[in-house]
Amino acid sequence: MKNYRIRRSVALALVLLLALVNSACVDLAAIQKFTASATEIGKRFPNLANDLSASCKRQHIYQEVRAAQFQPDRLRAITHPDPDSEEMTKLDGQCKQFTEQQKRLIEANAVLINYLATMGDLAADDLTSYDKGLEGLGSSFTKGNIFNDAEVSAVQGLVGFLLKAASEGYRRKKLKSALEDQNSHIQTLTKALRRLVAQNYILQLQNERDEMRNYYSTSILLYRDYMRQLVARTAEERAQQGQLVQDPLPIIQVKRLWDDEETEIAKKIEAANAYAKALDSIAEGHQKLYESRNNLGSKEVVRTALTYAKTIQSVVEDFRKAF
């Protein structure tokens, strides 16, 4: 009887040991690929965010050049203002709100990217780390005129998790609880970033495109008027009447430049849509991991994670074309 109990205890210990070994050997490489793909495209996001205020400035430059009637002596000051010039001060003031917004956008995106990197570390059973520049965001992150209270709370909650994961030495066994605790924050944050990219930024580009088209179409109309006057009257007659008209076309090579700028804006719109699609994949992929958190090593999870990783990779090139 005593030997039976010993054998049973040994057998139970072996079963438990085998379970621990199997748990430690679970291959979560697919989750790592998913988080790596998302992190890769996310690192380029600041280039897009910084274009928010840059686009605003380009719009005002188009307006100012038209208002100056293409006077050559004004073009340089308007289109390439010196840092401390009156023109630059004016531009900065006109686009101040977008400069403030892009700062918050970059911070929020950085939190998302650091979280995804941490998920990859946990899946690999590695210790985690984070960008030290995020430490103060747990209390200092604000709406910036673009985020609401729930979105601010999501960012702050994720920052708190990142700090705790690093300071307490989280490893793979914490992956499940991380998915449980942070999924709602990820859904909120990705939805917010998607809105700001697919709506706010694209609207900014559309406004820029309208100003650009007005700029070039106005140039063509001015050229037509110039040629009519040139044919109808001599230069001497026009000079006497004080009606000299500036010819903008020698200054701007209208058709080629117009086409180039149309193409550039189109690339940026495609890039914004690509990033919005990547954010959708991040949100959906994280939701699937959350739903499968009790069986992360299953074939279904592997298949799902690889599918979302592939989807994100497919849009990276569209994003790279512009940023």
pLDDT category at 323 given cuts 50, 70, 90 is: confident
Task: Give yes or no for a contact between 283 and 190, defined as CB atoms under 8 angstroms apart.
Answer: yes
Closest CA to 282 of 61, 49, 133, 117: 117
- Residue range 116-130: mean pLDDT, rounded: 95
Tokens of 217: 């179409």
d(CA 37, CA 309): 6
Q: What is this structure's pTM?
A: 0.82
Cβ contact 290:15 at 8 Å:
no
Beta carbons of 68 and 75 less than 8 angstroms apart: yes
Residue 9 has pLDDT above 80, yes or no: no
Does residue 254 carry a pLDDT above 90? no
Inter-residue contact 182 to 217 (CB < 8 Å): no
Give the residue, 86 or 4, on which the prediction is more confident. 86
Does the pLDDT at position 204 exceed 70? yes
**The predicted structure's pLDDT at residue 64:** 92
Q: Which two tokens stand for residue 320?
A: 């790279």
